[in-house]
Amino acid sequence: KAGVTQTPRYLIKTRGQQVTLSCSPISGHRSVSWYQQTPGQGLQFLFEYFSETQRNKGNFPGRFSGRQFSNSRSEMNVSTLELGDSALYLCASSFSQGSVTGELFFGEGSRLTVL
Amino acid sequence: QKEVEQNSGPLSVPEGAIASLNCTYSDRGSQSFFWYRQYSGKSPELIMSIYSNGDKEDGRFTAQLNKASQYVSLLIRDSQPSDSATYLCAVFTGGFKTIFGAGTRLFVKA
């Protein structure tokens, strides 16, 4: 069974640009969560999607957005990049049932560097 | 108060010893509890999940949950150098959000 696939793995952008990251979940998983990981803040929750609906959003500015497609693949977008957006962005999929999101399975992440 | 708190460590134990990792959480409505291991430069991987009070054992790992005290722990028996990693406590708080602690770095000395 294929794992969670994230693309691109590495990218370098400059301040003010925008970036789109992609995530393909494990087959059969309909829940996709996104996290930002930095050395100082650890893993910070960005948002969670299930069946194309955002069910929760973390405490990030509106520059961070996401969406989920009918095949459960998800994308996140960061507009007007700032130096502080440099981080590892992790996608995790889960076999969510009802009101419970279970175990998370992470992709290898997309490492974003903003210059 | 952080939602999920862990001692950042580092925690250093000799090979063969028991490593004890602790975590507290603030939301009493939390439903599910997890431990993830993250090696340097890698993404987190699930090692244990626990949903009800008590102990749950899986090989050398034992997770303990006490909802009254809002406390989760992970014991690693017969610690090996390959167990050296950062261990992340995670709590599903409801609202389809899993919150992670900052992680405890564990070093197992050969």
Q: Do A48 and B102 touch (CB under 8 A)?
A: no
Interface contact B98-A101, CB threshold 8 A: yes
Q: How many CB atoms lie within 10 A of CB B42?
A: 13
> Does residue A31 belong to the interface with chain B, where contact is any CB pair within 8 Å?
yes
Q: How far from B56 is each of A101, B29, B90, CA to CA, in Å?
A: 20, 20, 16
| Chain B contact set for A21 (CB, 8 A) | none
| Segment A6-43, tens digit of pLDDT | 999 999 999 999 999 999 999 999 999 999 999 888 89
A74-78 vs A19-24, strand pairing mode: antiparallel
The arithmetic mean of pLDDT across residues A60-69, rounded, is: 97
The predicted structure's pLDDT at residue A71: 94
Residues of chain B whose beta carbon is less than 8 angstroms from a beta carbon of chain A are 31-32, 34, 36, 42-46, 49, 88, 90, 92, 94-103
The share of chain B scoring above pLDDT 90, in percent, equals 85
Cα separation values, B40 from A4, A84, B60, B87, Å:
19, 21, 21, 11
Please give the C-alpha separations between residue A106 and each of A91, A95, B102, in angstroms, as whole numbers.
Answer: 6, 13, 17
The C-alpha of B33 sits at a distance from chain A's nearest C-alpha, in angstroms, of: 9
What is the per-residue pLDDT across A71-113, written as a single tens digit (0 to 9) for each?
Answer: 999 999 999 999 999 999 999 999 876 555 678 999 999 999 9
What's the pLDDT tens digit per position in B27-81? 988 889 999 999 999 999 999 999 999 999 999 999 999 999 999 999 999 999 9
> What is the structure's pLDDT at B95?
76
Per-residue model confidence (pLDDT) at position A98: 59
